[in-house]
């Protein structure tokens, strides 16, 4: 219930204005967002790389309603990739990017899917030139079919294009079975959006069980599973399944969010597993932050205290 109300907050324009301009929230934002500028994002990438972690960068922004905003968002990704390449951070896919289809225009009134596919293709071409990859994020359940269609279409030119599956959706085990193919990069997460019960599992326990089932399919398959969770139990299950499937350490990776369990990220990387950190940057951080607050009540209390603070 609390999670649903919080996720509804992410759609309120008034709250967005109030919270985005409150001076007291900067500390909370800084925990989850690497900064507003490309310079800050590059610096965060360098720090993480020095700690032995891989990176995927997300330029914040979603639900674009103007074609020119979608084009500008894609241009920003391309500039960021070129910047990272100049700094020697992209080789071998060490730092890649994650892209939201609705930021690329998926929800535009006219030709949304075609526009988003075109912009993602431009980003893929820049990533290829820089020696790295792109992963397409998954957003709310109404975008899943279009997102998977875009990824399938672009894979004929960019075979290493990654996608995301959310275990809270009832369809996801079937999607995993279709995607567990040679060369396919599939990020498995629990899912961060609000979805009705006919399409999504309503309880945490069901979502976790579905995650374990999806994991089994991906690990037994022939692609590169990207295990995006901070849940210690699922991380253990994933490691055990990788061993069972005889997977070498470079045939899968763990992924975690910037600011969530940084010590756990380093511990896992020190144990010899590949760990990639999802690093968001940019000024349009409101919806991303609300999803992070919804994941953990303790975050919300921290945030409310910051809002109430007058110092
Ligand atoms: P769970 O929520 O059960 O948390 C397990 C433990 O992790 C918690 O007990 C807590 O200790 C810690 N934790 C988790 N979230 C925290 C937070 N916000 N603050 C502090 N501690 C926290 N979703 C989506 O719908 N589409 C997508 O494309 C992506 N992409 C994505 C990429 C990567 C790399 C990650 C790690 C996650 C995503 N997600 C996502 C988000 C994902 O769906 C999910 O909402 C979060 O990862 C939280 O779920 P956990 O699996 O960590 O489990």
Query: Tens of pLDDT along 71-130?
Result: 999 999 999 999 999 999 999 999 999 999 999 999 999 999 999 999 999 999 999 999
The protein residue whose alpha carbon is closest to atom 15 in ligand 1 is: 295
What's the rounded mean pLDDT across residues 171-191?
Answer: 97
Structure tokens at 219: 């690990």
C-alpha 45/C-alpha 55 separation (Å) is 7
Find residue 256's DSSP bridge partners. Answer: 277
DSSP, collapsed to helix, strand or coil, labels residue 94 as coil
From residue 173, alpha-carbon distances to 84, 166, 167, 185 in Å are: 35, 9, 8, 16
Gap between the Cα atoms of 10 and 32, Å rounded: 16
**Active-site choice (58, 107, 175, 187):** 187
CA dihedral 184, 185, 190, 192 (to 10 degrees): -110
What is the phi-psi region of residue 52: left when phi exceeds 0, alpha when psi lies from -120 to 50, beta otherwise? left
CA distance 195 to 166: 11
pTM (whole model) above 0.85: yes
What's the whole-number mean pLDDT along residues 242-263? 96
Residue 198 tokens read as 């006919």
Alpha carbons 256 and 83: distance in angstroms, whole number: 23
Q: What is the pLDDT of residues 193-209, one digit of tens each?
A: 999 999 999 999 999 99
Q: Is the pLDDT of residue 311 over 70?
A: no
| Residue 175 falls in the annotated catalytic set | no
Q: How remote is the CA of residue 67 from the centroid of ligand 1, in Å?
A: 30
9, pLDDT greater than 80: no
**Index of the ligand 1 atom closest to the CA of residue 208:** 3
Would you say 176 and 217 are in contact if contact means Cβ atoms under 8 Å apart? yes
Residue 38 has pLDDT above 70, yes or no: yes
Rounded distance, CA 157 to CA 174, Å? 24
Query: Which pLDDT score is estimated for 24?
Result: 61
Say if ligand 1 is within 6 A of residue 260 CB.
yes
Calculate what percentage of the chain has a pLDDT beyond 70: 94
């Amino acid at each position: 219930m609390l999670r649903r109300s919080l996720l509804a907050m992410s759609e309120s324009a008034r709250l967005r204005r109030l919270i985005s301009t409150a001076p007291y929230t900067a500390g909370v934002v800084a925990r989850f967002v690497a900064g507003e500028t490309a310079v800050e994002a590059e610096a965060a990438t360098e720090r993480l790389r020095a700690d032995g972690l891989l990176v995927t960068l997300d330029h914040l922004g979603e639900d674009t309603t103007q074609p020119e905003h979608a084009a500008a968002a894609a241009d920003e990704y391309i500039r960021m990739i070129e910047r990272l390449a100049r700094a020697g951070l992209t080789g071998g896919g060490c730092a890649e990017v994650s892209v939201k289809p609705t930021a690329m225009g998926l929800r535009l009134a006219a030709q949304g899917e075609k526009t988003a596919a075109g912009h993602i293709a431009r980003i893929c071409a820049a990533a290829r030139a820089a020696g790295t990859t792109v992963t397409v994020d998954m957003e709310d359940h109404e975008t899943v079919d279009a997102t998977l269609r875009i990824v399938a279409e672009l894979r004929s030119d960019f075979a290493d294009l990654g996608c995301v599956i959310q275990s809270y959706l009832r369809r996801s085990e079937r999607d995993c079975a279709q995607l567990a193919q040679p060369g396919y990069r599939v990020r498995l997460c629990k899912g961060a959006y609000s979805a009705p019960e006919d399409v999504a599992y309503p309880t945490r326990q069901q979502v976790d069980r579905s995650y374990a089932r999806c994991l089994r399919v991906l690990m037994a398959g022939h692609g590169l599973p990207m295990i995006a969770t901070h849940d210690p139990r699922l991380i253990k299950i994933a490691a055990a399944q990788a061993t069972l499937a005889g997977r070498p350490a470079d045939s899968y990776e763990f992924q975690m969010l910037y600011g969530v369990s940084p010590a756990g990220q380093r511990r896992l990387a020190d144990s010899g597993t590949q760990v990639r950190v999802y690093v968001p940057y940019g000024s349009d951080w409101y919806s991303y932050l609300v999803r992070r607050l919804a994941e953990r009540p303790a975050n919300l209390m921290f945030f409310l205290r910051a809002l109430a603070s007058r110092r």
